[in-house]
Chains A and B, each alone.
Chain A
């Protein structure tokens, strides 16, 4: 059996993140969700069905929405651009569409609890109070580009590029102080 030699960008902060739930009386929880499999999928309208069939879930065509099927989640990134989260295995072989395994490109920070939206408002200009459920958005959080997605009841997943993860984690920990 091979030894897992992976090291996640925020592995060293697990304990500090755990303290937040204690400090806020459970109103806010923050945790890294490392090593999430992520496929960047590119497909024109003509190849959408083929891509969906290969991937095993439909790709949302409404901007800034999410489709979840089993352990897979597809986030809309652009009119021919998706991020498919979850599942396992190597890059599928596309025919007439494109795919890149970007699992290590970003790590996921999951915020949940009733205070999550208020915390993000310190650095995110979007009107997060008025998002529906199963939404996603690419935007700025503080000085980092992020992919946000929101799920009921109060979970927001922040996908951040690995190099920015340490900065964003520091920013979040500091923002908790300002709450």
Chain B
């Protein structure tokens, strides 16, 4: 017979909608509204899992999220590991398997969408039981207040007060500072394969609430007894829920084992549904009990309870329904910073004040809970190793006693020693049991022992839900230049520089990266080449005190710069270490344009604002980011002047009219432009700036104008080779926050006058003033074809000798160079400048490569090429 344990008329499942599902190798039916657990129980299936360490058969213990035992693997329609059978809603085509502790992830990517949303309300009520609904109704009576009511269960026919926004299948998983709560809404999980693809499967709600009402109810507790983990043993309240909500009988002959009065209501209602019930009460003074003052001393049956030994008798039963009292659900309250106090009358922890605006109502506040003591502890016996405290972690009373025997006193330490309370359920039904066991072993009380800290999430949350839509292309913001589409069309791979996508190199047919970079470098050194430099950070600094301001931030003097001129500048942090470098151009008497490295644009602007606002508010200076106001194209190489002259016929481009380190306003390719004669390659070069929306047009015009000169677009890799050949450091590659300007060979950029600049005082500290600091130097491998690895360590001897081996530094940049006809590297080496000409060794793949130390400037040290 199908569903032999389904009661003919009780429950709220929709009997007009039968559903077919598979569990293990059995195909079964249930009804719409069933959980996997209720449908299995309706079919008489209790054994649904094996325990993780001991492999013992395990059943269904609860009817909700607190389930410690019935952990299953969903196989279809999409694999999901470790879900509790008590919370999975049955749908047609569901395929699930029993689990032993761990599940498996799907090998293929999850095609479902996930999503997140922010919500704001004046009142958030968690839990739509009677107390929650009453609280929501009260709150909604205040005009204009937004009230959100969240409930973890599917929609129920209960009455939702008018004006309340109800979120069902939604679990609040975390309660953080300032009434910020995070909830997970399961939107289409219950539809199985019928879930519409475009709808987010789960949605993360980030809720900011004026005040919070927690109506989170209470979780029933187990009582420890030997073999208390056998399938067929469950919480008494769960048996009642299966009858009331799903019309399912958990057995025909049940023993109810209790230490409190709720058992009698359960017994009455089960008897009314046709179940034979015997009530064994641990309390001697229990007049309504069939067996007062009873102890359950043994369970018969292995994969399913067949009987019990209780009060010296043996009873044939197929279910044992346990109630060891109730623990108010105060996880969220505790996460919010709420204090808890132990109530002896209820044998439970109750809310005791919180700094946040939160109120606890209903059973979560202890309202309506039965008086009862802590769960009665069995006397130490041989059966302790089969008397379970935490079912999912297979933790027994014997193990808890072993922990206290080893000297552990804190329940937090016992948790870590035994792993009790660390499983998916975080000890919802077992936490107080563990404490009571510890208390009994120490001769203390549960009040003194307390419980372990409640931490988010309240229930397991999948990473996919936390990621939401921030995955694939939206994982991070990709910043694009206005010329991006051209690079893309030309087949350039992109290099990530911060969030920017920068063209890396432009391979022609059949070229690999090395071949492309060689060709691009050759073009820049011998012909004409161009690069999209739009990502360069740009800051407009203006105001009457702008010059003075820049003098205080840069190591060199900027206030003396002539209008029309450009100067290279270095900035230090307060500790004297290089922070950023770039150029400063004076536009007018009280206006400068500062450039920064691509990655530091925001940090430099922040740095400027910090000093202006917090230390020098009297300076009249305003800083504005113009990074994306301007697109920048670098035009580089001996042929650059000719190409510029062609596109800017009104601009005098000869060396005398437009010398190095000057800028000019001009019309370039018909576009309003500002042209800088600066070079990051040592070659004759111009950086042409136009409004961002003109960047694409400028690029195309330069490609056209330079076509007959063989103009070659180049990417960041070629830029790196060209600058490294000249010994120009890159902040963040050749520096790491421990490098001073002098270490980089930039001592010339430190002003001679005594006027202060940020970081100056640090440069005379004993450590920064040492002569044996690491210096930036060049390295030439003896084998000119051998490329050193960036990051390779430098040592002074071969063989290494016994440790500790003196470490002299590391390689920061390393490239093959067509201009030098060989490979080369830059490195930070202890006393590097004093070692020029020496032989050192770089470690590459475990072997020591001999290298010669040279100046960091390897190409055109005289600077003969910059004027073309």
Residues of A at the B interface (CB closer than 8 Å) are 2-3, 5-9, 34-35, 40, 42, 44, 80, 98, 100-106, 121-122, 124-125, 127, 129-130, 142-144, 161-164, 166-168, 170-171, 174-175, 177-178
**Are A9 and B482 interface neighbours, CB within 8 A?**
yes
Q: Which of B116, B118, B200, B693 contacts A104 (CB 8 A)?
A: B693
Complex contact A102–B481 (CB within 8 A): no
Bound Cα distance from A3 to B691, whole angstroms: 15
**Which of B73-81, B370-378, B622-630, B854-862 lies at the interface with chain A?**
B622-630
Instruction: Please give the residue numbers on chain B whose beta carbons come within 8 Å of chain A beta carbons, in ascending order.
Output: 113, 115-120, 146, 198-200, 206, 208, 469-470, 473-474, 476-482, 484, 500, 535, 540, 542-543, 620, 622, 624-630, 670-671, 691-697
CA distance A98 to B588 in the complex (A): 13
User: Which residue of chain B has its CB nearest to the CB of A47?
Assistant: B620
CB distance from A70 to the nearest CB of B (A): 25
**21 sample A-B contacts, Cβ–Cβ < 8 Å, listed by A number:** A5-B697, A6-B694, A9-B693, A42-B622, A42-B624, A98-B622, A103-B629, A122-B115, A122-B469, A124-B118, A125-B118, A143-B470, A143-B476, A163-B535, A163-B627, A166-B478, A166-B480, A166-B484, A167-B477, A174-B469, A178-B469
Choice from B117, B620, B625 contacting A105 with Cβ under 8 Å: B625
Q: How far is the CA of A109 from the CA of B625 in the complex (A)?
A: 20
Q: Is the CB of B480 within 8 A of A8?
A: no
Tell whether, in the assembled complex, residue B474 and residue A164 are in contact, meaning their CB atoms are under 8 Å apart: no
Contact status B208-A142, CB under 8 Å: no
Contacts of A129 in B (CB 8 A): 120, 146
A5 to B208, CA, bound (A): 47
Does B120 lie within 8 Å of A106, measured CB to CB? no
- Give every chain B residue within 8 A of A42 (Cβ-Cβ): 543, 622, 624
Q: Is the pair B696, A178 in contact by a Cβ cutoff of 8 Å?
A: no
Closest B-chain residue to A43, C-beta based?
B622
Chain B contacts for A3, CB-based, 8 A: 670
Q: Which residues of chain A come closer than 8 Å to B470, judged between CB atoms? A: 142-143
Residues of A within 8 A of B697 (CB): 5-7
Q: A104-B629, A142-B474, A171-B469 are in contact. Are A163 and B480 (CB under 8 A)?
A: yes
Name 20 extra pairs, CB < 8 A, besides A167-B480, A177-B113: A2-B670, A5-B670, A6-B694, A7-B482, A7-B696, A98-B543, A100-B624, A100-B626, A100-B629, A121-B118, A121-B119, A122-B116, A125-B208, A161-B627, A163-B480, A166-B478, A167-B474, A170-B473, A175-B469, A178-B113
The answer to whether A177 and B198 touch across the interface, beta carbons within 8 angstroms, is: yes
On chain B, the residues within 8 Å of A6 by CB distance are 691, 693-694, 697
Instruction: Report how far A5 CA is from B477 CA in the complex, Å.
Output: 27
Q: CA of A104 to CA of B119 in the docked complex: distance in angstroms?
A: 33
**Cα distance A47–B126 when bound, in Å?**
53
Please report the C-alpha to C-alpha distance between residue A33 and residue B384 in the assembled complex, in whole angstroms. 74
Query: In whole angstroms, what is the CA distance A105 to B18 when docked?
Result: 60
Chain A contacts of B535 at CB under 8 A?
163
Contacts A8-B693, A178-B200 given: A105-B629 contact, CB under 8 Å? yes
A40: chain B residues at CB < 8 Å are: 624
Q: Which residues of B contact A5 (CB under 8 A)?
A: 670-671, 694, 697
**Chain A contacts for B484, CB-based, 8 A:** 166
Q: Which residues of B contact A2 (CB under 8 A)?
A: 670
Q: Which of A5, A122, A144, A164 has the most CB of B within 10 A?
A: A5
- Report the bound CA distance from A122 to B119 in whole Å: 9
Contact in complex: A162, B540 (CB < 8 Å): no
Tell me which of B113, B117, B473, B482 contacts A162 (CB under 8 A).
Answer: B482
Closest to B115 in A: A178
User: Cα distance A162–B482 when bound, in Å?
Assistant: 8
7 residue pairs, one from A and one from B, having the closest CB atoms: A42-B622, A163-B479, A5-B697, A104-B692, A98-B622, A6-B693, A127-B120
Given known A-B contacts A127-B208, A177-B113, A105 and B626 have beta carbons under 8 A apart: yes
Q: How near does chain A come to B613, taking the closest CB pair, in angstroms?
A: 10
